[in-house]
Amino acid sequence: MTITGPLEQAQLLETLVLNIVNHQSLIATKARRLSYAAAGRPIMEFGARRAQGPDSALYGTRAAIIGGANSTSNVLAAKLFDIPVASTMAHSWIEAFPDELTAFRKWTEQYPDNSALLVDTYDVLNSGIPNAVTVFKELRAAGHEPVGIRIDSGDVTTLSQAARTQLDAAGFPNAKITISNALDEHIITSLLHEGAPIDNFGIGEKLITSASAPVLSGVYKLAATESNGQSTPKIKVSASREKLTIPGDKQVYRLYEPGTQRAFADLIALATETIVDATSLTVVTSDPLSVDRQQRLTHFEARPLLAPVDLSNTTSIPVTTIQATTQAKLAELPRTTQRLVNPDLYPVYMTTTLSQLQTSLLNKMTILAD
Amino acid sequence: MTITGPLEQAQLLETLVLNIVNHQSLIATKARRLSYAAAGRPIMEFGARRAQGPDSALYGTRAAIIGGANSTSNVLAAKLFDIPVASTMAHSWIEAFPDELTAFRKWTEQYPDNSALLVDTYDVLNSGIPNAVTVFKELRAAGHEPVGIRIDSGDVTTLSQAARTQLDAAGFPNAKITISNALDEHIITSLLHEGAPIDNFGIGEKLITSASAPVLSGVYKLAATESNGQSTPKIKVSASREKLTIPGDKQVYRLYEPGTQRAFADLIALATETIVDATSLTVVTSDPLSVDRQQRLTHFEARPLLAPVDLSNTTSIPVTTIQATTQAKLAELPRTTQRLVNPDLYPVYMTTTLSQLQTSLLNKMTILAD
């Protein structure tokens, strides 16, 4: 992202922009990882009570949907952002009645066509499922079909398999099984590897806080100043080459195999450079650890990623549209870079002009310091 | 915390109460850990740009101060909650000028009596400190004393030691050294163990997100219902004894050595029980893994922890007062329970009456389920 403006104004924005972009990118990324692990099964966002503050729940939910979650139990987020709401019931509903069967009946009276019964308040297999089956039969007799059950504790593989068997035997093969118990992408992968018959995943704290990596360390750096129409590129030097900034006003191109939607690398150039689709271009990898930093690219189509945003145009884009665009963009990236464990690195290059500018500014600053 | 009210109203509060209490307790606890590690040196909260949303930064900062942080760079939090603000300068300030020396001079012109110069934009020892010393001498000649320097990258022990030597040699033994580079309680402990001459710690992302443990899994459970003045205790059963709820309307007592502020345990009782200072009382440990669950307590003074809150009284208590109260309460706990690594467990007991109620409800529910 490039922000251009009077220095004082651009500086005032730093903390807010970083806060929003870091937070929401983090949660969207986590949702993407969970969605990848769930391999097509819906993800329900359940994290409001464990988010780091009320707004964190609200905007975290929005980001989770963009990243690939399918629905949320956060009714305010669902209302404000027009995203699907996921129905759920609480253990306290069950406890508020004299017994579980009465609690289930009272719930299905309210929601005859949208009842996912929570079966683990007392004992999943000996109480929860039998009581759910009783109520499901009553529902069906009254002309309704149950949605299914939710399990929120215990060994999920064992319980979901036994629950599936009991529901099938009772004549409810279409009743869905939802699981929600401190799930993350690795637990989901393991459950599916074991063949647990799970239809939906409800994911709370691990998604809404990105618990495995709760910080995205995005930065906001001065890249250039302008005076009398003259742009001066700027650099922040660091003992670590990874923290060295890339100077100047820039454009980023995504490089595709010609005529396809298959992206294979990104290329950072100065905004003043012209990048044309070419059969051959020498570039420099931006990975400071790479041994062979010069690379020759052949046969690509370059499409710019940065486009101006008109802040006076406040038409908001529907969240589900942003979700669809994001998912389409992700689908363009190499499959090998998308796996959860040991992903291949997606290459990011700089043009030789930009790389030379970075090196010359670094040398100048090092000389100044001597 | 106990919340009493009509079931529907109390239920509506669940998500909001959990969100706020979980989040702010988490950050206050993390601040306590950092403050413990810093062993008396001030902690400055620097995390706004990495918090999980703008409100998370704001209320996270408030919680950090309560937990033991001393100041914040979040000017809005400082203004709203009347807490000390910590001055800092950005790398972009330095980069915005033709050279570091000019940038330092322009800054000290603005803040002659409150200048902490950031010395790592180009090279700490060969550029940052020498330029800072030049400006400090000019400041002193003009009748002002510098505050000190801040280092935000590199090997902090080496750099702080060399910086201390250079500042002392230049005649500035009182110039403070502030460090701020992805610090947490373990890095602080290690730096101080090595004898790094650090005066202040600026802590960003690891504090404001509680990065090492970003979720506090507090729950909100139905403990009792009331009908026609008759209270009925409720329980939520789980396959794991740790997730079993403690039924009934309760009071929590902190147990002190008589006549002192030295607490040694907490005791959970039914609100209807009378707990008097006693020389002998049989209690049950709430630790489900304990082998010997019955314990005999002798010679204690019991002081109730739960007091009614009048929600119609909206007088807000100053954050610094809450901080002082919190720190005084923490000081009452055994030192052995406060260390960062391998702390002793602080005992929490139940009365035998409460324990028997829990067991009888558990048995009843298990029978129901059979």
pLDDT digits (tens, 9 = 90+) for A55-100: 999 999 999 999 999 999 999 999 999 999 987 788 888 988 989 9
Rounded Cα gap, residues B235 and B242, in angstroms: 13
- Give me the mean pLDDT over the B228-242 stretch: 82
DSSP A241-265: GGG----SSEEEEEEE-TTSS-EEE
Rounded Cα gap, residues A22 and A15, in angstroms: 10
Confidence of residue B167 (pLDDT cuts 50, 70, 90): very high
Rounded Cα gap, residues B125 and B119, in angstroms: 8
Q: Is the pLDDT of residue B99 over 90?
A: yes
Q: Do the Cβ atoms of A283 and A352 come closer than 8 Å?
A: yes
- Inter-chain contact A59–B51, Cβ cutoff 8 Å? no
Beta-sheet strands, E only, within chain B? 43-45, 71-72, 116-118, 148-151, 176-179, 200-203, 224-227, 230-233, 250-256, 263-270, 281-285, 294-297, 301-304, 348-351
- Inter-chain contact B49–A19, Cβ cutoff 8 Å? yes
Q: Residue B352 phi/psi, 5° resolution?
A: -65, -35
DSSP A8-19: HHHHHHHHHHHH
Rounded Cα gap, residues B68 and A88, in angstroms: 39
Shortest distance between the Cα of B265 and any Cα of chain A, in A, equals: 28
Strand partners, A116: A148
For chain A, give the percent of residues with pLDDT over 90. 78
pLDDT digits (tens, 9 = 90+) for A229-278: 899 999 887 667 777 889 999 999 999 999 999 999 999 999 999 988 66
Q: Do the Cβ atoms of B113 and B144 come closer than 8 Å?
A: yes
Q: Is the pLDDT of residue B355 over 70?
A: yes
Burial of B351 (0-12, 13-18, 19+ CB in 10 A): buried
- CATH 3.40.50.10890 matches B222-369: no
Q: Do the Cβ atoms of A61 and A80 come closer than 8 Å?
A: no
Please tell me the predicted confidence (pLDDT) of residue A366. 65
Closest CA relative to residue A176, chosen from A67, A66, A86: A86
Q: Distance of CA A202 to CAs A43, A99, A152, A190, A320, Å?
A: 6, 25, 9, 16, 19
Please tell me the predicted confidence (pLDDT) of residue B89. 87
Please tell me the predicted confidence (pLDDT) of residue A370. 46
Confidence of residue A357 (pLDDT cuts 50, 70, 90): very high
Rounded Cα gap, residues A164 and A170, in angstroms: 10
Confidence of residue A312 (pLDDT cuts 50, 70, 90): confident
Q: Do the Cβ atoms of A207 and A199 come closer than 8 Å?
A: no
Which of B14, B26, B46, B50 would you mutate first to test chain A, the one with the most A CBs within 10 A? B50
Measured between beta carbons, which residues in chain B are less than 8 angstroms from residue A222? 91-92, 95-96
Q: Residue B285 phi/psi, 5° resolution?
A: -70, 145
What integer best gives the mean pLDDT of chain B?
92
Q: Which residues contact A187 (CB under 8 A, 6 or more apart)?
A: none
Q: Which residues contact A264 (CB under 8 A, 6 or more apart)?
A: A255, A256, A257, A300, A334, A347
Confidence of residue B259 (pLDDT cuts 50, 70, 90): very high
Please tell me the predicted confidence (pLDDT) of residue A223. 93
Six token digits for residue A173: 């093969």
Burial of B352 (0-12, 13-18, 19+ CB in 10 A): middle
pLDDT digits (tens, 9 = 90+) for B328-352: 999 999 999 999 999 999 999 999 9
From B90, B215, B237, residue closest to A50, measured CB to CB:
B215
Who has greater pLDDT, B288 or B323?
B323
Confidence of residue A292 (pLDDT cuts 50, 70, 90): confident
Residue of B nearest to A97 (CA): B225
Shortest distance between the Cα of B41 and any Cα of chain A, in A, equals: 25
Six token digits for residue A286: 């931006």
Q: Do the Cβ atoms of B249 and B231 come closer than 8 Å?
A: yes
B100 — alpha (psi -120 to 50), left (phi > 0) or beta?
A: alpha
Rounded Cα gap, residues A5 and B307, in angstroms: 53
Measured between beta carbons, which residues in chain A are less than 8 angstroms from residue B155? 239
- Inter-chain contact B48–A15, Cβ cutoff 8 Å? yes
Six token digits for residue A200: 């939906």
Confidence of residue B128 (pLDDT cuts 50, 70, 90): very high
- Give me the mean pLDDT over the A43-49 stretch: 96
Instruction: Kindly provide the b/e burial profile for residues B149-180, where b requires at least 16 CB atoms within 10 angstroms of the residue's own CB.
Output: bbbbbbebbebbbebbebbeebebeebbbbbb
Residue B193's CB is within 10 A of a number of other CB atoms, namely 9
- The size of the A-B interface in CB pairs under 8 A is 186
Rounded Cα gap, residues B113 and B103, in angstroms: 16
Is the four-CA dihedral B316, B319, B325, B330 of positive or negative sign? positive
Shortest distance between the Cα of A205 and any Cα of chain B, in A, equals: 7
Rounded Cα gap, residues B140 and B31, in angstroms: 36
Strand partners, B302: B255
Q: Do the Cβ atoms of B278 and B254 come closer than 8 Å?
A: no
Instruction: Kindly provide the b/e burial profile for residues A66-103, where b requires at least 16 CB atoms within 10 angstroms of the residue's own CB.
Output: bbbbbbbbbeebbeebebeebebbbbbbbbbbeebbeb
Q: Distance of CA B228 to CAs B103, B194, B225, B231, B232, Å?
A: 74, 66, 10, 8, 11
Rounded Cα gap, residues B87 and B90, in angstroms: 10
Q: Is the pLDDT of residue B239 over 70?
A: no
CATH number, domain B18-208: 3.20.20.70
Please tell me the predicted confidence (pLDDT) of residue A55. 95
> What Rg value do the Cα atoms of chain A yield, rounded?
26
- Give me the mean pLDDT over the B229-243 stretch: 81
Residue B98's CB is within 10 A of a number of other CB atoms, namely 10
pLDDT digits (tens, 9 = 90+) for A156-192: 999 999 999 999 999 999 999 999 988 999 999 999 9
Report ipTM (2 d.p.).
0.90
Q: Do the Cβ atoms of A88 and A150 come closer than 8 Å?
A: yes
Q: Which residues contact A275 (CB under 8 A, 6 or more apart)?
A: A251, A253, A267, A269, A281, A302, A351
Q: Residue A81 phi/psi, 5° resolution?
A: -105, 5
Residue of A nearest to B240 (CA): A154
pLDDT digits (tens, 9 = 90+) for B289-313: 777 788 899 889 999 999 988 778 7
CATH architecture, domain defined by A17-208: Alpha-Beta Barrel (3.20)
Confidence of residue A135 (pLDDT cuts 50, 70, 90): very high
Q: Is the pLDDT of residue B368 over 70?
A: no
- Give me the mean pLDDT over the B28-36 stretch: 98
Please tell me the predicted confidence (pLDDT) of residue B335. 95
Who has greater pLDDT, B3 or B243?
B3
Residue of A nearest to B130 (CA): A369
From B15, B126, B215, residue closest to A209, measured CB to CB:
B215
- Give me the mean pLDDT over the B183-192 stretch: 96
Q: Which residues contact A297 (CB under 8 A, 6 or more apart)?
A: A255, A265, A267, A278, A280, A281, A282, A283, A349
- Give me the mean pLDDT over the A334-360 stretch: 94
Please state the domain extents for chain A. 17-208, 222-369
- Inter-chain contact A214–B216, Cβ cutoff 8 Å? no
DSSP B130-145: HHHHHHHHHHHHTT--
From A51, A126, A368, residue closest to B122, measured CB to CB:
A368
- Give me the mean pLDDT over the A320-334 stretch: 96
Confidence of residue B370 (pLDDT cuts 50, 70, 90): very low
Residue B24's CB is within 10 A of a number of other CB atoms, namely 21
In this structure, what is the dihedral angle of CA atoms B355, B359, B362, B368, given to the nearest 10 degrees?
A: -140
Please tell me the predicted confidence (pLDDT) of residue B311. 78
